Amino acid sequence: MGEGISDYTRFAVDLRRQMWMAGVEEELRRLIWQIAVTGKYISAKIHESNRKLAGFKNVYGEEQLSLDRSSDEIMKNQLQFSGFVREYASEEQDAVVMLGKGREKYFVTADPLDGSSLVDTNLAIGTIIGIHKESIFSRGRDSMVAALYITYGPLITMVYSAGKGAHEFVLNREGEYVLSQEHIMLEERGSIYSPGGLRKDCIEKHVRFLEYLEAEGYKLRYSGGFVPDINQVLIKRGGIFTYPALKKSPRGKLRLLFELQPMAFIIEQAGGIATDGKEEILSVRVEDLEQRCPIYIGSRFEVEKAMEFLAAGS
């Protein structure tokens, strides 16, 4: 055993080295690194979290756990002094926050803590980040340069893409993010489905699609946490996550800017696709911070099959 460093990490590739070898440009490497490190502070907050409601309401009118707010404060404060971030938009902020002097290179979107309602059940939750090179009020395909998510589960893992593939890292006991899977690629089709929303609230065509998947023997995998549910599709190399249009809310539940764009960026880099049922998520123009979209995201076969069912008879 080396001087306190386990053999496991001696020959391992850590996050900074992998990004350098992948040719990620320097400032973006430093920003991704900074955000990944912030995940450690958020994880510490989760571990010490009190479970009383903060009594605050975020823009979506949802009761907000104090953990959501403190995670957002941690992320904002870390980015404020990074020197790379001009604007910060977060699920927990009412408006875009100017973080820099106006000349910094990047615009960051954050769902600082996704799945906070699961904290008391000890199920996995996550942080979702989008990194843009220009105004976020655009199409993701034009503005995004990178995306990452951190999964706070039995292990803390981080998946990022800077447009050169999707890669997974595990936080080891030395507190380093060590490469576990590089260039993750989805198969043409998978064997799991993650169906958000209540069936009784879903439109007929969507229910037909779910019944098709069940008849085909797909296994239901749904935790209620977007990050671990999507992560399962990626790590199992296929399948589909959907949170569809509902009769009472045709735009579905998940937020385009904070949740769907970053995951669409990563899943596309892994050879999958992400649509709102008609249009690719990264082609949808962001009009406002609260914009929601139905989502079908995962391996090609299942997402294209979903679009067939939704288009049938129209």
Interface ranges with ligand AHG (CB under 6 A): 91, 111, 114-117, 196, 224-226, 243, 253
Stretch that binds Mn ion, among 90-98, 215-223, 236-244, 283-291 (CB under 5 A): 90-98
- 196 interface partner picked from ligand AHG, Mn ion, none, CB below 5 to 8 A per type: ligand AHG
Residue reference for tokens 């380093």: 176
Instruction: Evaluate whether 256 touches 293 at the Cβ level (below 8 Å).
Output: yes
Residue reference for tokens 């907050």: 45
DSSP-assigned letters across all residues of 156-186: EEEEEESSS-EEEEEE-TTS-EEEEESS---
Rounded to whole angstroms, how far apart are CA atoms 111 and 109?
7
**Which pair of structure tokens corresponds to residue 162?**
């800077």
* Closest CB to Mn ion among residues 165, 224: 224
* Count of chain residues binding Mn ion (CB under 5 A): 4
CA distances from 198 to 74, 207, 288 (A): 34, 10, 26
CA distances from 245 to 113, 184, 206, 252 (A): 23, 29, 9, 4
- 276 interface partner picked from ligand AHG, Mn ion, none, CB below 5 to 8 A per type: none
CB of 2 to ligand AHG, least distance (A): 40
CB of 302 to ligand AHG, least distance (A): 17
Residue from the set 72, 87, 104, 111 that interacts with Mn ion by CB under 5 A: 111
CB of 228 to ligand AHG, least distance (A): 9
Instruction: Give the angle subtended at the CA of 307 by the CAs of 302 and 310, to the nearest 5°.
Output: 125
Angle, helix 66-80 to helix 26-47, in steps of 10 degrees:
150
CB of 242 to ligand AHG, least distance (A): 10
Instruction: Evaluate whether 57 touches 106 at the Cβ level (below 8 Å).
Output: no
* Closest CB to Mn ion among residues 111, 268: 111
- 130 interface partner picked from ligand AHG, Mn ion, none, CB below 5 to 8 A per type: none
91 binds Mn ion (CB under 5 A): yes
* Secondary structure letter of residue 89 according to DSSP: E
* Closest CB to Mn ion among residues 20, 60: 60
Instruction: Evaluate whether 277 touches 245 at the Cβ level (below 8 Å).
Output: yes
- 107 interface partner picked from Mn ion, ligand AHG, none, CB below 5 to 8 A per type: none
* Closest CB to Mn ion among residues 68, 104: 68
CB of 44 to ligand AHG, least distance (A): 19
Rounded to whole angstroms, how far apart are CA atoms 193 and 306?
12
Q: Which of helix, strand or coil describes residue 67?
A: helix
* Closest CB to ligand AHG among residues 91, 104: 91
* Closest CB to Mn ion among residues 259, 276: 259
229 binds Mn ion (CB under 5 A): no
* Closest CB to ligand AHG among residues 12, 158: 158
114 binds Mn ion (CB under 5 A): yes
DSSP-assigned letters across all residues of 39-58: HHHHHHHHHT---SEEEEE-
Rg of the chain taking only CA atoms, in angstroms? 19
* Closest CB to ligand AHG among residues 87, 114: 114
- 218 interface partner picked from Mn ion, ligand AHG, none, CB below 5 to 8 A per type: none
**Which pair of structure tokens corresponds to residue 241?**
């996550």
Binding site for Mn ion (CB under 5 A): 91, 111, 114, 259
